[in-house]
Structure 1
């Protein structure tokens, strides 16, 4: 059998098994139908108060700001990832040894798991929340360029996984990595534009954030979705920013593979 076909069949089988496993606990995901809209409602009230008497802030109208948070919420549901927590748990409990002996690298196994998990999440979380934002809150969720938006969201999916997996790999060097994980993920969410658009940060901070990979998780796919990208005084076309996102994703992939190899060497050394 062709090795590529065999690999794809393995990934598909792991993804489908994960899909069926989480389908048994789908009520856990369904909680998002309450959490997501409630969080957005809070944002809705806060920004209504901030925009009182103002037509626009930093070039964004109230409608555009609400669209930003609505789109960002849906993107984050789709790209949601817990590879960091899962990997650290495997290392801490010693169960990672079973994966070290398998022919498939654990990062690929974890990615296959995420594909299955998010396939279920797409149906239970993304679509219902999208419809709530569209028909209840009347948020404009029509993509300016559906093709570029789809590519950018797919790259966001991969970037979030690889960044989180790199965080999880710190467990091979740290005895208790939970504190590092929580601090890093908070900084990641802030730097990704989850809580406020990055264009609202001071100029010097925008220049720093532009060269970090985190903007490609939330801010970039959201701005591509609305059809306009701007950060640190730079305006890029959709092909330009998506191309930059693809390049950043490739660089982070290389970094993840390098850290993975180093982690396996350390794991083997400790085992010996």
Structure 2
């Protein structure tokens, strides 16, 4: 019996499905706080990261108020917020698919009346939500240090809120697709290490795309990674939002739709590779 046949079973009512998905997310939040030492280490690490980023970028600018057309306070705000956003975007739970694939437990995920896709995405969202205390404390420290300036304008703040949500969706969809590599390789830790480093660099979380060579900026801008961090933070510090802001958000929305289709296609191919109970 193949997974495709199993998936044709009866589905739960929408209300029950939603409750199950939310419960999965809550469970992921609680799971992140099981190891308290690791939790406190994460909080401390986030705080130190904010201080170090502030000191490094202040030293880079030195007495100069502008570099490559970017004001010092904008660059520091971008860098500190980029570090905090990376904390929320980077926790990966999809590598747990590796263990479930090796043990065969993934078969039960596919057989359930709720698709494993929203359940897995909910777990990832829960893991990210568990990082909010660390990111929140880092934000407070950044504000106290004067490292984080207010948004460029009220419109920028609203547009940033929309953009960061879309950026998070893009990050999670990409993470999900990478996690599905386990259906082919039965190993995802290596893929996640490579992907994590590439995503942080290409998204502009480490270095704003403004400071990269022109040809590299053009290449990275054409990829979905820049829509995760660079686009939202650029909107945040933008003093004059306008048509270009709507265009940037529109491109993010397009990436979300494209990645939803891609994730669905990869998931469909992934479960086709799996034969349940040796049938």
Distance 1:67 1:157 in 2: 19
* Match among 246, 251, 256 for residue 258 of structure 2: 251
TM-score scaled by structure 2?
A: 0.85
* Match among 69, 72, 89 for residue 79 of structure 1: 89
Report what 2:180 is aligned to: 169
Give, in angstroms, the shift of residue 82 of structure 1. Answer: 0.6
Q: Secondary structure at the match of 2:94?
A: helix
Give, in angstroms, the shift of residue 271 of structure 1. Answer: 4.5
* Match among 40, 45, 48 for residue 50 of structure 2: 40
- Between the two proteins, the alignment pairs up a number of residues equal to 266
Distance 2:180 2:250 in 1: 28
Distance 1:10 1:175 in 2: 27
1:103-118 alignment, distance < 5 Å: 103-118=113-128
Report the CA distance shift for 1:93/1:225 in structure 2 as closer, same or farther (over 3 A).
Answer: farther
Give, in angstroms, the shift of residue 107 of structure 1. Answer: 1.9
Report what 2:160 is aligned to: 149
Report what 1:188 is aligned to: 199
Give, in angstroms, the shift of residue 100 of structure 1. Answer: 1.7
Aligned-pair Cα RMSD in Å: 2.6
Report the CA distance shift for 1:128/1:10 in structure 2 as closer, same or farther (over 3 A).
Answer: same
Distance 2:212 2:178 in 1: 25
Report what 2:143 is aligned to: 134
1:3-82 alignment, distance < 5 Å: 3-82=13-92
TM-score scaled by structure 1?
A: 0.87
| Cα deviation digits, residues 226-261 of structure 1 (max 9, x gap) | 23699xxxx962222112111111111110111011
Q: Which has the higher contact order (CA 8 A, sep 6+)?
A: 2
Distance 2:199 2:255 in 1: 15
Structure 1, unaligned runs of 5 or more: none
| Cα deviation digits, residues 50-89 of structure 1 (max 9, x gap) | 2234331121122111100121122223333313322233
Report the CA distance shift for 1:228/1:219 in structure 2 as closer, same or farther (over 3 A).
Answer: farther
Q: Secondary structure at the match of 1:220?
A: helix
Distance 1:40 1:209 in 2: 25
Give, in angstroms, the shift of residue 214 of structure 1. Answer: 0.4
Give, in angstroms, the shift of residue 169 of structure 1. Answer: 0.9
